[in-house]
Amino acid sequence: MTPGAVADWLAVVSLTAGALLSLAAAIGVLRFPDTLSRMHAATKPQVLGVLLLLLGVGLRLRSPADLGMIVLVGVFQLATAPVAAQMIGRAAYRAGRVDRNLLDVDELADR
Amino acid sequence: MTAPGTEPPARRTRTGRWRDQLIAYGWLVLAWNLFWGEFTWGNLLGGLLTAGVVLLFFPLPPVTFHGRLRLRGLLVFGSRFVVELVRASAHVARIAVQPGYTPRSAIIGVRLRLPTDLNLALTAEVLSLVPGTLIVEVDRDAGILYVHVLDVRGPAALATSRAQVHALERRIVEVIGSNAELRQVRTGPVDKEFP
């Protein structure tokens, strides 16, 4: 196989894995019981899903101009997703939209 | 770069501030060129102008670090981060699709050993991407991160999460901390119980 074909196959694998993780993230956002749990789904599998999709796209396109943009998208995704999740989580907590029956411990309430 | 403590504080802060601005300026120019997809003189000029305007109208908060970047720490942190991001994603994805399972959670406060702004921000940012934890609230004055832990199974799991946050803090300080900060994190007392 030529290096190009190998990269294409790796791209296929990355794109599929990224798509599946994004699907799992969507299911998690839908199924988890409260906002804070949903934010877990919106950060971890979602971020890795996007990174894998970007990796797949990069392996397929293989041009420097696109790679620069892809790296930027990845870096901003890593930097912004936790911040967005924290802002939503904090707002949800302050608005009392937390299911206390599902919390074993809440040290923030004791503050 | 001079070692911390060798210059008078006022001067060090000012030069540190200029250095931070310069680093931010460089990154903005680089990002601008990456956005356009190619490095040309025109893009370089446009980047220099745009970055200047951005830094003038949206000045950065005075967060600085007096340490230095450690390559070894960066490699350890980077590889560990990739492994944990994959594990975290697999974990959340699994409980998301597991039929009839409702995960229990908890919110714990973790006091960092090194309550600098930079350390608080980086630790908070990264712990949202590693297994089990998500940042909810930051108590900047006390240096406490309030962390939401997903899928808690008993009190022992909470102690593990606390230890994980402290281990993460240590890995971050091993990348960016000064020698004094590193000592503080390595030998400083770890609170078993909150606060």
Structural domains of chain B ordered from first start: 9-57 (no CATH), 71-187 (3.30.70.920)
Nearest to A78 by CA among B27, B67, B130, B7: B130
Can you give the residue ranges of every domain in chain A?
A: 3-98
Give the model's pLDDT for residue B64. Answer: 64
Chain A residues whose C-beta is within 8 A of a chain B C-beta are 21, 24-25, 27-28, 31-33, 36-37, 39-41, 43-45, 47-49, 64-66, 68-69, 71-72, 78-79, 81-83, 85-86, 89-90, 93, 102-109, 111
Of the residues B92, B126, B149, B152, the best mutation for testing chain A's interface (the one with the most A CB atoms within 10 Å of its CB) is B92
B7 pLDDT tier (thresholds 50, 70, 90): very low
Kindly state the average pLDDT of the residues B62-69. 68
Question: Taking CB atoms and an 8 Å limit, are A24 and B92 in contact across chains?
Answer: yes
Nearest Cβ partner for B152 among A39, A41, A104:
A104
CA distances from A37 to B53, B98, B166, B186 (A): 39, 15, 22, 32
Chain B residues touching chain A at CB-CB below 8 Å: 31, 33-35, 37-38, 85-86, 88-93, 95-97, 102-109, 124-126, 128-129, 131, 134-137, 139, 146, 148, 150, 152, 155, 158, 194
Residue with tokens 């890995």: B171
Max Cα-Cα span within chain A: 62
Of A44, A89, A93, the CB nearest to B92: A44
CB < 8 Å to A33, chain B: 102-103
pLDDT at residue B165, rounded to an integer: 92
10-residue mean pLDDT series, chain A (111 residues):
90 96 93 90 92 95 86 91 92 87 84 70
Within its chain, how far is the Cα of B23 from the centroid? 17
DSSP-derived 3-state class of residue B114:
coil
In this prediction, what percent of chain B has a pLDDT beyond 70? 85
Residue B155's contacts (CB-CB under 8 Å, 6 or more residues apart) are: A104
Q: How confident is the model at residue B1 (pLDDT cuts 50, 70, 90)?
A: very low
Taking CA atoms, A32 is separated from A29, A98, B135, B163, in Å, by 6, 12, 17, 26
Q: Output the pLDDT for position B144.
A: 92
Tell me, what's the ipTM? Answer: 0.89
Summarised one tens digit per residue, pLDDT across range B97-154 is 988 888 889 999 999 988 888 889 899 999 988 888 999 999 989 999 999 999 888 8
**Dist CA B132 CA B91 (whole Å):** 8
pLDDT band at B195 (very low <50, low <70, confident <90, very high): very low
